[in-house]
Amino acid sequence: DAGVIQSPRHEVTEMGQEVTLRCKPISGHNSLFWYRQTMMRGLELLIYFNNNVPIDDSGMPEDRFSAKMPNASFSTLKIQPSEPRDSAVYFCASSFLGGATYEQYFGPGTRLTVT
């Protein structure tokens, strides 16, 4: 398996622009998680889905952030409009709910810089 795939790997954009991050989970996994990592705040869970349904979005910082999972193999995290404080590394992870553990497998991340 190719693992969790994220794109783009790097994104540089100007304040006010829309940013879309993409994730393809491991085939067969039914839970998907979006995290944000910064030096100041560490690793934060933004939202997670189970069977394509959002289960907990309490970590989404504000209305500028939205996430979708239209099918089992694709999810997006959108920021509109972007702000400099959104600069961070965004990770997508997937797991299989119903297995022996909830071990999560992380993608390589998207490094977002908002100028």
**Binding footprint of another protein on the chain (CB under 8 A):** 31, 33, 42-43, 45, 48, 50, 55-56, 91, 93, 95, 97, 100-109
Closest CB 111 distance from another protein, rounded Å: 9
Closest CB 34 distance from another protein, rounded Å: 11
**Which residue number, 22 or 81, has a Cβ lying nearer to another protein?**
22
From residue 89, give the alpha-carbon distance in Å to each of 1, 3, 24, 30, 70. Answer: 24, 18, 17, 23, 23
**Which residue number, 9 or 14, has a Cβ lying nearer to another protein?**
9
Q: What is the 3-state secondary structure (H, E, C) of the chain?
A: CCCCEEECCEEEECCCCCEEEEEECCCCCCEEEEEEEECCCEEEEEEEEECCEEEECCCCCCCCEEEEEEECCEEEEEECCCCHHHCEEEEEEEECCCCCCCCCEECCCEEEEEC
Closest CB 80 distance from another protein, rounded Å: 25
**Which residue number, 81 or 105, has a Cβ lying nearer to another protein?**
105
**Which residue number, 50 or 76, has a Cβ lying nearer to another protein?**
50
Closest CB 112 distance from another protein, rounded Å: 14
